[in-house]
Amino acid sequence: MLIQHKIGNINSYPIHDKSIDWLALEWFETNKRIQRKRTASGKEVSLKFMLENPSLTQGDVLFENETSIIAVEVLACSCIVVSPKNMFEMASVCYEIGNKHLPLFFENEEVLVPFEMPLSRLLTAQGYSIKQENRKLIQPLRTTVSPHGNETLFTKIMKLTAND
């Protein structure tokens, strides 16, 4: 079965009495344009998103017929979870992680990053309170800030928090 676009999200999609056949994806597979996978029921699916990055997330509906729906299930993975105490610490930890060119995720005022021991040691050594948990990485933190401009996102946040 060839799937070339998503048709909605299960949170706002009319399911009616249809069964949901989950397509399990690792967090790093949610942006792949081309891949072959099997759903929970064993259906082979070919994903080919040629026009744009799919940016798939939890519950995205990829296929529907009279009896079933195929939806994305993002699998949990081992993560570093940082709960910054204030905006200054939020900016600092995001800067440190971003400086390593690692993907950042944001959920419930926590910063999440896929677990890596060197990063875990670095953040602990710098005094951040971190936890290691199994979580679903579904809300990537994206910025449109150019790193070569006069003022970066980091410097803007630092100015805003200077009075704290």
CATH, residue 81 = 3.30.70.790
The pTM (predicted TM-score) of the whole model is 0.78
Q: How far apart are CA 90 and CA 82, in angstroms?
A: 9
Shared domain for 82 and 25, answered yes or no, is no
Roughly what angle, to the nearest 10 degrees, separates helices 87-99 and 117-125?
Answer: 140
Shared domain for 81 and 40, answered yes or no, is no
Shared domain for 84 and 116, answered yes or no, is yes
Q: What is the CATH number of the domain that holds 55?
A: 2.60.260.20
pLDDT of residue 155 exceeding 80, the answer is no
pLDDT of the residue at 101: 87
pLDDT of the residue at 50: 86
| Structure confidence at residue 150 as a pLDDT band (50, 70, 90) | low
Choose the weakest-confidence range: 53-57, 75-79, 97-101, 138-142.
138-142
- Per residue in 88-105, pLDDT tens? 888 899 888 888 888 899
Residues spanned by the domain of 41: 2-74
Cβ atoms 111, 64 nearer than 8 A: no
State the amino acid at position 138 in one-letter form.
I
Write down the mean pLDDT value for the chain. 88
- Per residue in 37-64, pLDDT tens? 999 999 999 999 988 778 899 999 999 9
Cβ atoms 110, 83 nearer than 8 A: yes
pLDDT of the residue at 99: 85
**Among candidate residues 132, 92, 90, the one with its CA nearest the CA of residue 111:** 90
Cβ atoms 114, 137 nearer than 8 A: yes
Helix (H) or strand (E) holding 71: strand 68-74
Rounded percentage of the chain residues whose pLDDT exceeds 90 = 61
User: Domains in the chain: how many in total?
Assistant: 2
Shared domain for 114 and 146, answered yes or no, is yes
**Among candidate residues 103, 70, 71, 109, the one with its CA nearest the CA of residue 87:** 109
